Chain A
Amino acid sequence: MVTLNHYLFVSGLLFTLGLTGVMLRRSLIIIFMSLEMMLSAANLSLVAFSRFNLVDGLPNYNGQAFVFFIITVAAAEVAVGLAIIVALFRARRTTNVDDITAMKY
């Protein structure tokens, strides 16, 4: 029997993996991918919460509606984000965060 805790555990794992990726990886594209993973973690736990919080025997659909908003907004974020990363690549010929050091302290 798969319970709410199983879903939350997997979702927490995804979130942690995403956060670790953002902090440890050095390529902007991979960092961006990890960020999307963090949003997916939230989506997974939203659906799980919605499925296990029954209201009159039906799932709580508010949570699932929220998931659609998150997916849509994440798509918009990717569109703008990748455009900025491409612009940076054209100007600097790199997407490595260690090279982005024009401003310090």
Chain B
Amino acid sequence: MPAIYLEAAVVVLGIVLMLMEAFVDKADKSFIGKIGIVGLAVIFLGLFMVEGPKDSNAHWAIWSFYAVDPTALFYKGFALITTIIVLIMSLDYRGVIQHYMGADQEKPQAGLGEFLYLPLFTCAGLMWMASAKDIVSIFVSLELVTISFYILVAFLRRNVGSLEAGVKYLILGALSTGFLVYGLTWLFGLSGETGLAEIAAELGNEESPMNAHPQALLFALALVIVALGFKVAAVPFQIWVPDVYQGAPTPITAFLSVGSKAAGFVVGYRIIEPFITSDAAPQLVTLILAISGATILLGNLAAVPQTNFKRMLAYSSISHAGFLLLALGCARAAGDDVKVEGVMALYLSGYLAMTLITFHVMCLVRDQLGGEEITTYNGLSKRSPFLAGMLLIAMVSLAGVPFTAGFFGKFYVFLLAMQSRFYVIIAVAVIGVGAGFYYYLKVVKAMYWEEADDDRKVTVPPLAKGALIALAIIIFVLGVYPSPILNFFS
């Protein structure tokens, strides 16, 4: 089965659910989410039987836009798993959605159906982004993701915070699109090609305008880095992140911080990597390392004084982007034993598990206790020992304690930086990790050592329990045995 069928299946599933939402006369709309979860799980199984072009001269024109390699397959699976968990989260969050969508006696579930099928279109975009290897397909898939996120972020249209987050994301997202398009235009102008492989091949051509005008090339790459910096939340393009993360519905915040970031890094890796490993733009590595150092430092230090849990996680997400950028910057010196792609995939897999656990707990707490401040989590261990335990695992892993996925992610990034002899940036990163321990463990302290204001319990639905346990298992397995992911790319 050609790999392209996977995206087609996700889009078809989304359209079918959209029609079912409109025409199936059922009072409880949560069936849409459940069908979506099952459908995506089936498509995930399809991932193991896909094939790429039979030979390099395949006639089907789509193959010049669409890569089928380990990176593409890995991040397609990544997008599917993220979307499945996001749908489970959305089901647990429905009380909040109905409240802000003006649900009444007549329409008790207004807006819920739309909230449950829209993530599928984002998922199709993320999967396409994992495969995009032509500037046209990169642009179109990135915009599919961004535009569907505009809708989802601003979804709670009677909640001022969500609308405001939506407008901020819209303006800054569109601005980054402008930068991206302009940068890609110049890449096209310099190379005369739209395929990334062909553009990289032009680097070897001495007479190509790309080598004759290094300033123009650097200009194009800087614009692309600005645009991707917006997508992955790197300093100084991180200004939108705290506000958007805080205002957006929690499942969508989780989706943004995992799905959008991972896809941004795949595209970034595909575009930037050939230029880092060649001599065409030597300033590029310095630029990426400077951004990465600033991102790690600002993300971690700004997270320390936060009192809103969601906002704190927004800064934490910024700091993780810094570590991933550091890995990208090491692409040149990386040996064959530890590949940059493998390290980024390992980091992102651990990040997926711990971030989704955190946001899932946050959805349940918001739905049942009605707050997102860290003080809401006071005494969570009494309200629900299970959720407190899960959040403890996620926080410890985010901080990077050994035997969790977060530790190995950071360990391999440091290893790459040591091999590349980037000692200054390692010192900066160590400060960042140290600050991280403080604010992550602040949440743990609230859960276990502070007293709750009342004795309300938090109940966990069985589906959520299953998802949380599965994610926790991922954290521990990657914490002791990371080699499957590292070897996946060699």
Chain A interface residues (CB < 8 Å from chain B): 15, 18-19, 22, 28, 31-32, 35, 38-39, 41-42, 45-46, 49, 53, 55, 60, 62-63, 65-66, 69-70, 73, 76-77, 80-81, 84-85, 87-88, 91-92, 100, 102-103, 105
Interface residues of B (CB under 8 A from A): 135-136, 139-140, 143, 147, 150-151, 154, 157-158, 160-161, 163-168, 170-171, 174-175, 177-179, 181-182, 184-186, 188-189, 192-194, 242-243, 246-247
Q: What are 22 A-B interface contacts by the 8 Å CB criterion?
A: A15-B182, A32-B171, A35-B177, A38-B182, A41-B182, A42-B178, A45-B182, A49-B188, A62-B188, A63-B189, A70-B139, A77-B147, A81-B174, A85-B167, A88-B164, A88-B166, A100-B167, A102-B160, A103-B161, A103-B165, A103-B242, A103-B247
Q: Which 6 A-B pairs have the closest CB atoms?
A: A38-B178, A49-B189, A42-B181, A35-B174, A73-B143, A42-B185
Q: Which residues does chain B contribute within 8 Å of A80, judged by CB atoms?
A: 147, 150-151, 170
What separation, in Å, do the CA atoms of A32 and B186 have in the docked complex? 23
Report how far A63 CA is from B187 CA in the complex, Å: 11
CA distance A76 to B149 in the complex (A): 13
List, in ascending order, chain A residues with CB within 8 A of B140's CB. 69, 73
Q: B164 touching A53 by the CB < 8 A rule?
A: no
Q: Do A45 and B189 touch (CB < 8 A)?
A: yes
Q: Is the CB of A45 within 8 A of B177?
A: no
Knowing A42-B185, A81-B150, A84-B150, the reply to whether A35 touches B136 (Cβ < 8 A) is no
Out of B143, B175, B184, name the residue touching A35 (CB < 8 Å). B175
Instruction: Count CB-based A-B contacts (< 8 Å).
Output: 122
Q: Shortest CB–CB separation between residue A84 and chain B, in angstroms?
A: 5
Beyond A22-B175, A31-B171, A45-B189, 4 additional pairs, beta carbon < 8 A: A28-B167, A46-B188, A80-B170, A103-B164
Residues of A within 8 A of B177 (CB): 35, 39, 77
Q: Which of A22, A31, A76, A91 contacts B147 (CB 8 A)?
A: A76
- Report chain B residues within 8 Å CB of A103: 161, 164-165, 242-243, 246-247
**Among the interface residues A19, A28, A87, A102, which one has the most CB atoms of the partner chain B within 10 A?**
A102
Q: Which residues of A contact B170 (CB under 8 A)?
A: 80-81, 84-85
Question: A55 with B181: in contact, given A22-B175, A84-B167 (CB under 8 Å)?
Answer: no
Beyond A62-B188, A66-B188, whether A42 also contacts B164 by CB under 8 A is no
Partner of B178, one of A35, A49, A81: A35
**CB within 8 A of A91: which of B143, B163, B168?**
B163
CB distance from A65 to the nearest CB of B (A): 7
Given A81-B150, A84-B163, A102-B164: A70 and B193 interface contact (C-beta under 8 Å)? no
Q: Is the CB of B164 within 8 A of A62?
A: no
Distance, CA A33 to CA B279, complexed state (A) = 39
**Most-contacted residue by chain B among A42, A62, A76, A105 (CB, 10 A):** A42
Asked if B166 and A84 make an inter-chain contact with CB atoms under 8 angstroms apart, the answer reads yes
CB distance from B243 to the nearest CB of A (A): 5
Task: Determine if B143 and A76 form an interchain contact, defined as CB atoms under 8 angstroms apart.
Answer: yes
Closest-CB distance, A24 to chain B (whole angstroms) = 13
Q: How far is the CB of B359 from chain A (nearest CB, A)?
A: 18
**Is B168 a contact of A100 with CB atoms below 8 Å?**
yes
Chain A nearest CB, measured from B207 CB (Å):
14
What separation, in Å, do the CA atoms of A70 and B186 have in the docked complex?
Answer: 15
Instruction: A33 to B342: give the CA distance in the assembly, Å.
Output: 42
Tell me the bound Cα distance from A31 to B140 in angstroms. 23
Q: How far is the CA of A65 from the CA of B349 in the complex (A)?
A: 36
